Amino acid sequence: MEIGIVGLGRMGANIARRLMKAGHSCIVYDANPKAGQALAEAGARPVSALEAMVEALEAPRTIWSMLPAGKITEEIIAALADLLEPGDTVIDGGNTFYKDDIRRAKALAKKGLHYIDCGTSGGVWGVERGYCMMIGGPAEAVKRLDPIFCALAPGLGDIPRTPDRGALDPRAEQGYIHAGPSGAGHFVKMVHNGIEYGLMQAYAEGFDILRNKNSGDLPDDERFELNLPDIAEVWRRGSVVSSWLLDLSAMALAKDRELSHFSGHVDDSGEGRWTVEAAIEEAVPAEVLTSALYARFRSRQDHTFGEKLLSAMRFGFGGHVEGHEGGEADPAAASAPPTAAR
């Protein structure tokens, strides 16, 4: 298939690369021309403006926006709405607030355009591992683009199949689902990220407790000098707390057990706050997720070892640089991805 991709940052560029590797054609645009030129070497066709992208694509067109939530995404989608024709589709693959998706879908539907919200998880390793996708929008539009989603998804891999799935949607086993109508995809991804906050905080606090077992405030015979890299590694092997986040923690600790390159400043990109807001609206207790969000707020004031581990994990899976939420990571500084997906 042919698709336009707007926004060639960490994930946008890798989405284009994975699609081209699967045989799809990508017409790409970014405000920074160098980003498009870099993808041209991989087979993409860069353009210098949205108008040129729309002109180059054959109807029915599909354009995937991979930009930060907020003003820039609003502006790009509004511009595309004026350029596209009835039957064309806009996909927002960023971390947009789901209520904005509902509003946009209604506005674009008045022009005969399809709007799909695609919660996309996979970080900087998605180009190799594949992307977990949670998709919202009209069923027929999602179905037409199944070859795109299938190419981006990780596939079955070596993960054991869940018993008794029988009549359930087979796409979930491949790593993507049609979650529901417009907004549902980003809502599921929003809660996914809220859970991510809680999981990361649990690891961070646990390793902080381990590290401080040699505290001078403890009796001499109760002090242990524990080897955190070894503990992280052994927990990866058969433990019930094994996960990709633990893999990333083990990699970071093996490289530098003091995490001296991290200050412990932990940003939040919005989804955690929105998850807590949704919990309040639904009157659902969410103590862990709320506490994890507040811990990130506190991390910007003083930094513990646990907060350094949070920073290390965020850098590992998403290339997030402390204090520069939208900044690009230095690829040379990132560790190699784990060989086995979980």
Q: Among this protein's residues, is 271 annotated catalytic? A: no
What pTM value is reported for the model?
0.87
Is residue 196 among the annotated active site residues?
A: yes
Dihedral, 30, 94, 320, 296 alpha carbons, nearest 10: 150
Cα 271 to the chain's mean position, in Å? 11
Catalytic residue among 196, 205, 307, 322: 196
List 74, 189, 271, 308, catalytic entry: 189
Higher pLDDT among residues 320 and 253, named by residue: 253
**φ, ψ for residue 94, nearest 5 deg:** -80, -170
271-325 tens-digit pLDDT: 999 999 999 999 999 999 999 999 999 888 877 888 899 999 999 988 888 877 6
Long-range CB contact pairs, 326-332, < 8 A, 24+: 326/68, 328/9, 328/10, 329/10, 329/124, 331/124
Condensed to tens digits (0 to 9), the pLDDT of residues 104-115 reads 999 999 999 999
Helix (H, G, I), strand (E, B) or coil at 226: coil
pLDDT in tens, 77-100: 999 999 999 999 999 999 999 999
Instruction: Give the tokens for residue 124.
Output: 């900087």
Task: Report the mean per-residue pLDDT for the chain.
Answer: 92
What lies within 8 Å, CB to CB, of 181 at 6+ separation is: 105, 136, 137, 138
